[in-house]
Amino acid sequence: MSRTLNLGILAHVDAGKTTLTERLLYEAGAIGAIGRVDDGTTLTDSLDLERRRGITIRSAVASLVIGDVSVNIIDTPGHPDFIAEVDRVLGVLDGAVLVVSAVEGVQPQTRVLMRALRRLRVPTVMFINKIDRGGADVAAVLREIQRRLGVRAVPLTEASAAGTRAAAVAKAAPDGLIDALADDDEALFAAYVADSARVTPDRLWAALAEQTAKSLVCPVYAGSAMTGVGTAELMDGLVSLLPVAEPDDHGPGAGRIFKIERGAAGEKIAYVRMFSGALQVRDRVRDDADKVTGISVFERGAWVRRSTVRAGDIGKLSGLAHVRVGEAIGSSAQDAAPHHFAPPTLEARITPDRHDQHVALRAALAQLVEQDPLINIRSEPSGELSVSLYGEVQKEVIQATLAADYGIAVTFRETSPLYIERPVGVGAAEEILNSPTNPFHAAIGLRVEPASGFAFRLDVDYQSVPLYVYRNVDEFAAAMQEYVRAALGEGLYGWQVNDCLVTMISSNYSIADGPPSRRGPLATAADFRKLTPLVLMRALRQAGTRVCEPMSRARIDAPATSLGSVLGMLARHGAVIHGQSVHDGSVSVEADLPADRLPGVQRALPPVTNGDGVLESAFAGYQPVRGEPPSRRRTR
Ligand SMILES: Nc1nc2c(ncn2[C@@H]2O[C@H](COP(=O)(O)OP(=O)(O)OP(=O)(O)O)[C@@H](O)[C@H]2O)c(=O)[nH]1
Ligand SMILES: [Mg+2]
C-alpha cells in the first residue's frame, strides 16, 4: 500500500492558496500546464463563480505524488464568509500548509486558522508567499509569526532580493535549528553539549519532524507560488516533516464525510476520508443508511473508479442520497463533527422573485444545507424563509448559485443580527402521566442552568427508560439530547438558546396493564420528542433568559494624526475602545462593537483617515443587548 498524506492549504483570503496548489500540482507533474487564478484556469477553482470572481468558494481536492508519497491536497477558501468549508476539512487532515503573504503578513484569518490548527494538533508548515511582489519583507513576517501567532517558527529557507522579480531562496543556515529544538528534546540537547559535531543534520531533521508532528514547532518556508521559487523546498519538507502514515486498513471501515457535491445528473457525490479499515461498493455506511453504489479514489493524481476505499485515502462515494456533510460513517459512527469556528452572526429573509417558485426555493435551499450544515434555514408558519449567514459575499454566492443551478431568482431582505439567548438562573419543570396539561403518553422532567456551551445529562432511574423503544440507556440519552437540542433552537424570545446545561431529572411512560397512574397506550419515541419542547420551555421560563448579540473585535491601523477622528467615529458606532498604541507615526486602536455595526465602520473609515486606515476584525463572542431585548417570531 502506498503512503498517503492528506494536506490542507489554509490562509487568509488572497494569500495565494490556489496559486500554490496549482504550482505544486504542476511541479509534481499532475497537470501539464499551469493555470492562473486571474485567468480562471486553475484546477481547484473549478466553479463558474470562482473563476469569474477569482476567489475560492468551496474546498476542492486534488492529488499529486511526491517520491513514494501520494498527497491529497485540499485547497480551501480564505474568505471568512466561507469558514464553514474550512471547518469540515480540519477534521480530515494529516497536516497543513498555512500560507501567509510576504507583503500583507499575518492577517486576522491567519490567526483564527493557526489557533484552530494548534487546538486540533494538526502538524503545520508555513509558507511565506509572494516574495516576488513589491513590499515583500520576509524577516518582518517571520517576526510577526513568532509574535502574533505565538508559535515557535523555524525558518528553513532564506530569501534574497525579496520584493523584486529576481527574488530567490536558499537553504537557511542550520545554527538556528538546534536552538529551536533543544528546549523540547533533552537527548538532543545533551548530545549537543557533549559533542556538537556529532549532532548530524539527519539527527536534527528527525528531531524537527518529531516536534512538527507534535505541533511544538512550525517549519517556515519562503517563496513565490507565482514564479515557483521555493516550492521545491516546500515539497521536500511536506513529505519529510509531516507525519505520513501507513494506516491499518484491516477491519470494518470508519471515516468522515467532509464535502458533498452534485454530479451532472443532480446525484449526490460524497467525499470521504477513511481513518481505518476499508469501505466497499455495496457496503452500507451505517446500519440504516443507503448502500454505496460507486467509489472513486485518487491514483497517481487522477480519479479512478475502484471497488474499495482504504484507510488513509480520500474517496468519492455515490449512492448515498441521505448523507450529510460532517457525518461520521462506518462502524464507529458517532455524532456530526464538532465545529471549530465562530457561528454565523447574521440572518436574512429570502424570497423568490417569482411567487410560484416558493416550493422550488425551499427544496433548493434544503439541498444547499446538505452541502453546508452551517447554513441554517428557518421556515415560519406563514411559509417565509430565513437563512443564517456569515456575510455579504456569502449572500451573493447563494443568490448566484440559486439562479445558475436552480433557475430561481431571489431577493434577500431584512438582514439582522443573529441573537442568542442564555439562561440567567436555574429552572426546572416536569410533566407527569395522565395530567390535563400532558397530551402525551410519556413523562419528562428537565432542569436548565447556565453553562459554557451546550451539555445534556441523564439523571433518571433506569427503570423509567422505555427500553422497548430504545435499544439501551445510551441510545435513549442520545435521542433525548437531540430532542432537547432541537427544542433549544427557539428560546423565550425566539432565538437559539446557548450556553446551558440541561439535565433530565425524571422520566416515565404509560403501559396498557400498568397501575392506574401509569395506565394508557404504550408510549412511542414521538411522545418523548413532542413533550420535550413543552417541558423545556417551562423550565426556561423559570430560569429566565437574556438576549445576547454577536460582537466583533475591530483593529484599526491609521496615521497617528487621525487618532481623534477615528476615536470619535468609533464612539458614534457604539464601539468600546480597549486599547491603543502609537508607533512610527501610526496608531492602532482596538475596539469591541456589535457585529452588525462593522460595515458602517468600514464605510466611515476612509473619510476620517484620508483613505489610509485599515480595518481588521474577528468574532468576539456574545454580550447582553442593552435596552429592550429583540424577539423573533417563533415557528412552533
Ligand atoms: N506576485 C505574486 N502574486 C501571487 C502569488 N501567489 C498568488 N498571487 C496572486 O494573488 C492573488 C490571489 O491568489 P489566489 O491563489 O487566488 O489566493 P487564494 O489564497 O487562493 O485566495 P482565496 O481562495 O480567494 O482565499 C491572485 O491574483 C494571484 O495571482 C505570488 O507568489 N506572487
Ligand atoms: Mg483560492
Q: Residue 79 CA: which ligand is closest? A: 1
Specify the pLDDT at position 336: 56
> Residues 312-337: what's their mean pLDDT?
79
In the structure grid, which three cell numbers stand for residue 112, read together? 483564527
Question: Nearest bound ligand to CA 45?
Answer: 2
Ligand of minimum distance to the alpha carbon of 113? 1
Q: Give the distance (Å) from ligand 2 centre to CA of residue 52.
A: 12
Q: What is the pLDDT of residues 341-390, one digit of tens each?
A: 888 899 999 999 999 999 999 999 988 888 876 778 888 878 889 999 98
- Can you tell me whether residue 485 is helix, strand or coil? helix
Q: Residues in the chain, how many?
A: 636
pLDDT tens track for 218-267: 999 999 999 999 999 999 999 999 998 777 778 778 899 999 988 888 88
Q: Is 55 in the pocket of ligand 1 (CB under 6 A)?
A: yes
Report which ligand 1 atom has the smallest distance to the Cα of 227: 31
* Ligand 1 contact, 37 CB (< 6 A): yes
Ligand 2 centroid to residue 145 C-alpha, Å: 21
Q: How far is the CA of 134 from the centre of ligand 1 (A)?
A: 14
Phi, psi (5° rounding) for residue 396? Answer: -60, -35
The pLDDT assigned to 331 comes to 57
Compute the average pLDDT of residues 277-286: 86
Q: Give the Å distance between the CA of 214 and the centre of ligand 1.
A: 30
**Which ligand sits closest to the CA of 19?**
1
Instruction: Tell me which residue has cell 490548527.
Output: 117
For ligand 1, say whether the CB of 503 is within 6 Å of any of its atoms: no
What is the pLDDT averaged over residues 529-547?
A: 97
118 CB burial (10 A radius; 0-12, 13-18, 19+): middle
For ligand 1, whether the C-beta of 191 sits within 6 Å is: no
Average pLDDT over residues 557-568: 93
444 within 8 A of 528, measured Cβ to Cβ = yes
Residue 334 · residue 328 · CB < 8 Å: yes
pLDDT averaged over every residue in the chain: 90
Answer yes or no: is the C-beta of 397 below 6 A from any ligand 1 atom: no
Report the phi/psi class of residue 550: left, alpha or beta, with left for phi > 0 and alpha for psi in -120 to 50: beta
Say which residue, 414 or 484, is predicted with more confidence. 484
465 Cβ neighbours under 8 A, 6+ residues apart: 473, 476, 507
**Rounded-to-integer distance, Cα 439 and Cα 527, Å:** 9
Among 153-162, 171-180, 241-250, 516-525, the range with the most confident prediction by mean pLDDT is: 153-162
Residues 1-17 have pLDDT tens digits of 478 999 999 999 999 99
Asked if residues 431 and 444 have their Cβ atoms less than 8 Å apart, the reply is yes
For atom 30 of ligand 1, which residue has the closest CA? 130
Question: How is residue 350 annotated by DSSP?
Answer: E
Cβ distance 559 to 612 under 8 Å? Answer: yes
Q: What is the DSSP letter of 563?
A: H
In angstroms, the Cα distances linking 608 to 565, 585, 601, 611 are: 6, 16, 10, 8
In DSSP notation, 174-215 reads THHHHHHHHTT-HHHHHHHHH-GGGS-HHHHHHHHHHHHHTT
Cell numbers that stand for 270 in this block: 460524497
Q: What is the pLDDT averaged over residues 545-569? A: 94
pLDDT digits (tens, 9 = 90+) for 163-187: 999 999 999 877 778 888 888 888 8
For ligand 1, atom 14, the nearest C-alpha belongs to 16
Q: Which atom of ligand 1 is nearest to the CA of 78?
A: 25
CA distance 218 to 100: 13
- List the strands of the sheet with 410-417, edge to edge: 377-379, 385-389, 346-352, 410-417
335 pLDDT higher than 60 = no
- The beta-carbon contacts of 350-359 under 8 Å, at least 24 apart in sequence, are 350/385, 350/386, 350/387, 350/398, 350/410, 350/411, 350/412, 351/384, 351/385, 351/410, 351/411, 351/413, 352/408, 352/409, 352/410, 353/409, 353/410, 353/411, 354/408, 354/409, 357/408, 358/383
**How far is the C-alpha of 357 from the C-alpha of 476, rounded, in Å?**
40
Contact 388 CB / ligand 1 (< 6 Å): no
pLDDT one-digit tens code per residue, 429-465: 999 998 899 999 999 999 999 999 899 999 999 888 9
Torsion of CA 303, 305, 306, 311, to 10 degrees: 30
Let me know: does 387 contact 369? Beta carbons within 8 Å.
Answer: no
Instruction: Convert 140-169 into a string of H (helix), E (strand) and C (coil).
Output: HHHHHHHHHHCCCEEECEEEECCCCCCCEE
Q: Whose CA is nearest to atom 32 of ligand 1?
A: 130
3-state secondary structure of 75: strand
Cβ–Cβ under 8 Å, residues 186 and 211: no
Residue to probe by mutation, ligand 1, list 10, 13, 19, most atoms within 8 Å of CB: 19
| Binding site membership of 108 for ligand 1 (Cβ less than 6 Å) | no
Q: What local confidence, expressed as pLDDT, does residue 333 receive? A: 47
